[in-house]
Amino acid sequence: MLATISQWNAAQPISRLPSEIVSHIAALGISITDYHKGLEDISPISYMKYLASLAMISGIWRNTIIGTPSLWGPLSTDPPLHINRMSLERSGTCPLIVETGYWEKSLSTDSEVLELALPLWNRWSHAILESRSGGEVLERLSSASPSIKVVYVDAGWVRNPAAIKLFGGCAPRLQEISFAGVQVMWDPETFRGLRKLVLGNVSEDFMLPDNVLAILAANPLLELLDIVGEGYEPLPSPPPPSTRAPTETQDNSTQRAM
């Protein structure tokens, strides 16, 4: 039966498309950064199954899917560890999307995913972390990150964290920040060109009016600003920042709360 299906697939025009078109079709089907926390229909496992189903169309499709590094790169506690290792191996030098701690039926542990991902910190483009490896993660958050675009961290598991200089002041591609329980130092170079900024439990120094005004001035495309000081009850938490790349047609309406 499988041999018959394979022969039928190979005879179809779609099976003979150039590899460049195949990889483009695969990328358009489900973006590698489309999944959100906890949505099983677009989870990392679902994304991997999507790639596997495309690879069954024909040998050309299989070789193209496996050989296109940009289609790989999500590392998550959702799939088993061997799937994460395979994804990392096939991703080449492409950006990584690292996610821990959110999936009810996680098949990899936080520590397993971070062990794979932390040595490749410079390749991280998206970090969505609710991890118990608090100190190690916070240490990395104070290191330069040339590729990071979206960072969402819930550090409620860290007791009285000290303020950090976020990304050492060097994160030129950063667009979205959402922190709970992570204290950060004020740095005008880091908080520039953002679309979303959500900070909980920040120090009084960070809350100075001049700093808040500087944030507004340095981020003309800011869509969401929510800053909560130490000792205050936070507003209802927004969902993790979207990992979908922003488009030119986005509505730049803003929400601001302090």
Tens of pLDDT, residue by residue over 125-134, are 999 887 565 6
User: In the predicted model, is pLDDT for residue 237 greater than 60?
Assistant: no
Higher pLDDT, 157 or 103: 103
The residue ranges of DSSP E strands in the chain, in sequence order, are 74-76, 96-100, 124-129, 150-154, 176-180, 196-202, 224-229, 255-257
User: In the predicted model, is pLDDT for residue 110 greater than 90?
Assistant: no
Q: What's phi and psi for 63, nearest 5 deg?
A: -65, -35
Higher pLDDT, 55 or 161: 55
- Supply angle C-alpha 93, 96, 98, rounded to 5: 155
The pLDDT, as a whole number, for residue 122 is 95
| CA gap 173, 108 in Å, rounded | 29
User: In the predicted model, is pLDDT for residue 72 greater than 80?
Assistant: yes
The residue ranges of DSSP E strands in 146-188, in sequence order, are 150-154, 176-180
| CA gap 39, 12 in Å, rounded | 34
Q: Of 153, 123, 126, which Cα lies nearest the Cα of 137?
A: 153
Average pLDDT, the chain: 77
User: In the predicted model, is pLDDT for residue 2 greater than 50?
Assistant: no
User: In the predicted model, is pLDDT for residue 76 greater than 50?
Assistant: yes
The pLDDT confidence band at residue 95, using thresholds 50, 70 and 90, is: very high
Full-model pTM: 0.77
The pLDDT, as a whole number, for residue 160 is 54
User: In the predicted model, is pLDDT for residue 8 greater than 80?
Assistant: no
pLDDT digit string, tens, across residues 162-221:
788 899 889 999 999 998 878 888 888 888 889 999 987 777 777 788 888 888 899 999
pLDDT, average across residues 29-54: 70
Give the residue extent of every domain in the chain: 74-257
User: In the predicted model, is pLDDT for residue 62 greater than 70?
Assistant: yes
The pLDDT confidence band at residue 89, using thresholds 50, 70 and 90, is: very high
